[in-house]
Amino acid sequence: MHVCSTDTSGEIVDGLFYWVLGHPDDMFEDYQEEDYGEKIIFVPSDPDGYPARPIVEKRDRKDIFGCPADKTHRTRQLLQGISIVVEAGGTLPVFWNTENFFVMNDAIETMKKAGLRGTDCIRPKFETEVYTDQEMRDDLRVMTFPGGDILRPYRVTPPGADNCPFCGRVPIVCQTCGHINRSCPKCNKQIITVKKDLPTDSPLVRIRVDDNSVLDGSRWDGSDFLNPSLITRRALKLFQQENIGPCTALNCATYLGSCTPEQRDKLGEMSGLPL
């Protein structure tokens, strides 16, 4: 049977990039008691945040295409607009609400001053003014994480099987941007399945979606805030130093084998780690 899964071969390092998630304060304190070393890091919140939580009513996102190998591959999504209501409780300035990263303008200024890149924000539209005041409405921003997706492209095993099993005319995984052809753009047949109990002679390729993801360091464009919700170690250090939270940062492994010496130097400089 053919399998499409995260490629964990080669030189892989921890501590360069983190998935960032938020927690309501009440949950947060339970987690904080355990020590997960550098794998999971909890950043407490600034006690001066607004005692309120944004709830997303509507978001407007634009698909960005532009893979050099195939222009039909979507390489990222950019947030263009967001409508919210506010409920009492919780703490800002940084709060993760399902998919979005709300932040106070002061925290953005702190990030810019520290030289972080990709701090582009939009201003949310308040559907009602309940639990808000003018100061908060002027202050609140939503981060857009504009840096390109740097997931390492999946690999199909056994080697040599990375082509449509029906017509053989199309690679299943784009090794430039990581796009996966779930069905074949040439013969239109379904290629990928998530089913685990496939018969051994099935031509379908099983995708393993529950693996931990791996990034490809050579795809990094220098941004500190990357699609869909990754931050650099440099950004995390600033969050810790300035109490920009509450949020949780989960280590995401990075493959370095594809990096040029210059790309490796840039990652070393960003993280302060010996690479």
CB of 274 to Zn ion, least distance (A): 33
Contact between 69 and Zn ion (CB under 5 A)?
yes
Residues 3-62 that bind Zn ion (CB under 5 A): none
Distances in whole angstroms, Cα of residue 28 to Cα of each of 2, 22, 164, 244: 41, 9, 46, 14
- Alpha carbon distance 78, 55 (integer Å): 19
**Which residue lies nearer to Zn ion by CB, 9 or 190?**
190
CB of 165 to Zn ion, least distance (A): 8
Q: Give the one residue of 152, 179, 206, 233 binding Zn ion; rule: CB under 5 A.
A: 179
From 31-39, 48-56, 99-107, 169-177, span contacting Zn ion (CB under 5 A)? 169-177
Q: Are 44 and 91 in contact (CB under 8 A)?
A: no
Contact between 73 and Zn ion (CB under 5 A)?
yes
Query: In this structure, what DSSP letter does residue 112 have?
Result: H
Residue in the structure block whose two tokens are 């440099």? 234
Q: Give the one residue of 82, 94, 173, 184 binding Zn ion; rule: CB under 5 A.
A: 184
**What is the dihedral angle through the alpha carbons of 214, 219, 225, 226, rounded to the nearest 10 degrees?**
-60
Residues 76-135 that bind Zn ion (CB under 5 A): none
**Which residue lies nearer to Zn ion by CB, 95 or 220?**
220
Q: Give the one residue of 43, 94, 151, 174 binding Zn ion; rule: CB under 5 A.
A: 174
Contact between 167 and Zn ion (CB under 5 A)?
yes
Distances in whole angstroms, Cα of residue 129 to Cα of each of 50, 52, 96: 14, 12, 20
Q: Give the one residue of 67, 78, 161, 250 binding Zn ion; rule: CB under 5 A.
A: 67
Helix (H, G, I), strand (E, B) or coil at 270: helix
From 23-31, 95-103, 182-190, 248-256, span contacting Zn ion (CB under 5 A)? 182-190
- Alpha carbon distance 271, 43 (integer Å): 18
